[in-house]
Amino acid sequence: MVLPAVATRYPKLQPPCRLRELLRGARHTAILGCCKRHIMPQIEALRCSMNAILATIERRSLSDHFPSAIEGCVAEAEYTDALNHLQDYADSFWPPAKRDILLLRGRFNRWRSAQRQGVTNTENINDIGSAILDAAEDIRANSQNPQRSGSGGLPKHHAAAKLTQPDDLDRRADQPTVAEAPNLEKAQKLHWRLYNETKGTPVCRLDLTTKSFGQGAFELQPVSLQLHKGQITAVVGRNASGKTTFLQLCAGSLHPDSGRVTFPGLSDEGDGWRQLRSKIAIVPQLPTKWHGPLRQNLNYIASVHCSRKSSAQEDVDWYLNRYDLQDYEACTWDQLSGGYRMRFELVRALLSKPKLVLLDEPLAYLDIVARRRFLQDLSSIARSLEKPLAVLITSQHLLEVEIIADQIVVFDDGACKYNGPVEGLKSVIKYRVIHVTIDAQPNEVKQATVGLPAKSIERTIEGYIFTFPLETHGASIAMQLYREFGDRLKAVRDLTESTEAYIGSESRDIWQAQSTAH
């Protein structure tokens, strides 16, 4: 009981039981406050330190992943890929080796040209393969012990002819350390994810950015996103869904109606927009025509961005060989196919030494082989350890860009339906979507799927798209269809964790309600 006089003087004073509750609550609040002020920062600092250590370990392990990938390519006689990996390896771990690697690449180009023309050549492919493997081993040794080589370059015998036994390659290929190239890509992805989680400053950041084009016209609804170096962001959606508008906002070509677009990782103190814009490269869907020989155009771009003329020429030689364009450097624009035009555009962008590369539908006019090669090159460009880039690509080729992307943005009629890591797509899908390539009429398909819990069936050019409850197993569906149709069933693809599940249909509602929160 509170005394009347005390209660009059302190009207907010409570009975003892209430005081105990308040003291207990205050104690809990104080403890939580102490945790937030002292313990939580230490835990966060420890987490960042652990991620930094893991990133350092992963970077060092990449020095082993590269030789393994190179060995795998040589064992499969994929010498172009082996040399590409070798160039990337030298670029990231031992740049002094570049000149000798170009000489080695010249040997391979001469051998390949002789093979195509059916003429004899002094170069032996086994010798070249062995030289590639030896060069990779020397880069690894020099990168781990820089004092090992006084001159910094590779030993002379790597660029010159080297006699080896023909079974040398077979013996190397049988070693259990040989790894496939995709292991290298996974290691690079992990390295940059850990790096950006600890100390990575976003190259570009959009905060609740919107853009409209007049009353009743298209409107890009609020979207937030961060672009980091070493990572690839894929922007997908139907035509006129907002992909190009979003790309232009990232490039600074459009001013947002609301929200902000900033470039923390590009701007230095005192930099104006002109200096900042020079660090952004855009590869358009329809490149403008180049005039004159292609080499002259590249020489000009390189000379603008290099302090020394010799360095500019070396950069051009390096990129032309890395992207297998040296045979076309004397050509004019009209002599090139669409695929080679796009690759020359990419090289021109890289010669400007950007930190952010934006590509608008670069795969639109490429065949399937050219698309795969282009995306492989793009992956190595973004995740280079020496010169990593933030890359944003818009595309309608969903499955292919999903393979190389770190994060994906899905637009639909100006609204951002999903924004996050590719593997997070499965958390916002509420149905299992199966695409079936089959030679059957709709009534046959409906009859065959009577016992299956199909929510909907849609006709496509190749076959049908089925929507099932999420817990339905794709293997059981495939077995049921095979029992009914046999060899008439050509292919079954599970699209559940792919953006194609949503973009492929205008009427199918497969997204969880929380997906719009992105």
Amino acid at 455: K
At 330 the pLDDT is 93
At 302 the pLDDT is 92
Tell whether the torsion through CA atoms of 116, 120, 126 and 128 is positive or negative.
negative
391 and 280 within one domain: yes
Q: Is residue 516 one of the residues assigned to a domain?
A: no
* Beta bridge pairs of residue 456: 467
Cα-Cα-Cα-Cα dihedral of 358, 364, 367, 368, to 10°? 70
At 24 the pLDDT is 63
At 495 the pLDDT is 83
Q: Which residue has the tokens 């390096």?
A: 318
Q: Is residue 316 one of the residues assigned to a domain?
A: yes
Quick one: average pLDDT of 12-31?
A: 58
Report the distance separating Cα 491 and Cα 489, nearest Å: 6
At 136 the pLDDT is 92
449 and 388 within one domain: no
Report the distance separating Cα 265 and Cα 250, nearest Å: 13
More confident call, 230 vs 187: 230
Report the distance separating Cα 489 and Cα 505, nearest Å: 22
At 468 the pLDDT is 87
At 58 the pLDDT is 61
Report the distance separating Cα 516 and Cα 499, nearest Å: 14
Question: Alpha carbon of 181 to those of 194, 369, 387, 504: distances in Å?
Answer: 21, 17, 20, 31
345 and 467 within one domain: no
363 and 228 within one domain: yes
HSE (CB half, 13 Å, CA atoms) of 437?
Answer: 7
HSE (CB half, 13 Å, CA atoms) of 26?
Answer: 6
**480 has pLDDT over 60:** yes
At 382 the pLDDT is 92
Q: Is residue 502 one of the residues assigned to a domain?
A: no
More confident call, 378 vs 143: 378
15 and 89 within one domain: no
Quick one: average pLDDT of 309-327?
A: 88
Domain boundary among 162, 194, 226: 194
Element (H, E) at 417: strand 415-421
Question: Alpha carbon of 236 to those of 245, 389, 503: distances in Å?
Answer: 12, 20, 9
47 and 61 within one domain: no
Least confident of 84-98, 133-147, 503-517: 503-517
- 452 neighbors 435 (Cβ within 8 angstroms): no
Question: Alpha carbon of 32 to those of 23, 26, 27, 46, 426: distances in Å?
Answer: 14, 10, 9, 19, 35
At 121 the pLDDT is 76
441 and 294 within one domain: no
Q: What is the DSSP letter of 36?
A: I
* pLDDT tens figures, 271-300: 788 888 889 999 998 889 999 999 999 999
The gap from C-alpha 342 to its chain's centroid, in whole angstroms, comes to: 18
Q: Is residue 508 one of the residues assigned to a domain?
A: no
Quick one: average pLDDT of 31-51?
A: 67
131 and 39 within one domain: no
At 174 the pLDDT is 40
329 and 227 within one domain: yes
More confident call, 498 vs 202: 202
Q: Is residue 162 one of the residues assigned to a domain?
A: yes
Q: Which are the contacts of 232, defined by CB distance < 8 A and separation ≥ 6?
A: 378, 379, 382, 391, 392, 393, 404, 405, 406, 407
Q: Is residue 412 one of the residues assigned to a domain?
A: yes
| DSSP states of 120-137 | --S--HHHHHHHHHHHHH
At 164 the pLDDT is 35
Least confident of 6-10, 67-71, 218-222, 415-419: 6-10
At 510 the pLDDT is 45
**466 has pLDDT over 60:** yes
**15 has pLDDT over 80:** no
- 512 neighbors 430 (Cβ within 8 angstroms): yes
At 333 the pLDDT is 94
**80 has pLDDT over 50:** yes
At 442 the pLDDT is 86
At 250 the pLDDT is 92
354 confidence band (pLDDT: 50, 70, 90): very high
* pLDDT tens figures, 141-172: 887 765 554 444 444 433 333 333 334 334 33
Question: Alpha carbon of 196 to those of 53, 76, 291: distances in Å?
Answer: 13, 35, 40
Q: Is residue 509 one of the residues assigned to a domain?
A: no
* pLDDT tens figures, 384-410: 888 899 999 999 888 888 889 999 998
CATH number at residue 438: 3.30.70.100
Least confident of 9-13, 60-64, 337-341, 503-507: 9-13
Quick one: average pLDDT of 120-144?
A: 88
Pull the structure tokens for residue 190: 């992990």
- 496 neighbors 432 (Cβ within 8 angstroms): yes
**CA proximity to 132, closest of 74, 64, 69, 68:** 74
Quick one: average pLDDT of 305-315?
A: 80
Q: Is residue 353 one of the residues assigned to a domain?
A: yes
308 and 271 within one domain: yes
* pLDDT tens figures, 223-256: 999 999 999 999 998 888 889 999 999 999 899 9
Report the distance separating Cα 194 and Cα 147, nearest Å: 29
- 291 neighbors 333 (Cβ within 8 angstroms): yes
What values do phi and psi take at 174, rounded to 5? -80, -10
Q: Which are the contacts of 354, defined by CB distance < 8 A and separation ≥ 6?
A: 279, 280, 281, 389
Domain boundary among 390, 418, 446: 418
**Cα–Cα–Cα angle for 18, 19, 20, rounded to 5 degrees:** 90
At 177 the pLDDT is 28
More confident call, 201 vs 145: 201
At 141 the pLDDT is 87
The tally of domains found in the chain comes to 4
* Whole-number average pLDDT of the chain: 79
- 352 neighbors 278 (Cβ within 8 angstroms): yes
Segments forming the whole domain that contains residue 173? 54-194
Question: Alpha carbon of 129 to those of 73, 170, 367, 426, 444: distances in Å?
Answer: 10, 11, 29, 43, 55
At 176 the pLDDT is 29
More confident call, 120 vs 103: 103
**63 has pLDDT over 80:** no
478 and 363 within one domain: no
370 and 351 within one domain: yes
- 154 neighbors 35 (Cβ within 8 angstroms): no
**327 has pLDDT over 70:** yes
Domain boundary among 159, 194, 229: 194
Amino acid at 268: D
At 48 the pLDDT is 65
* Beta bridge pairs of residue 261: 206
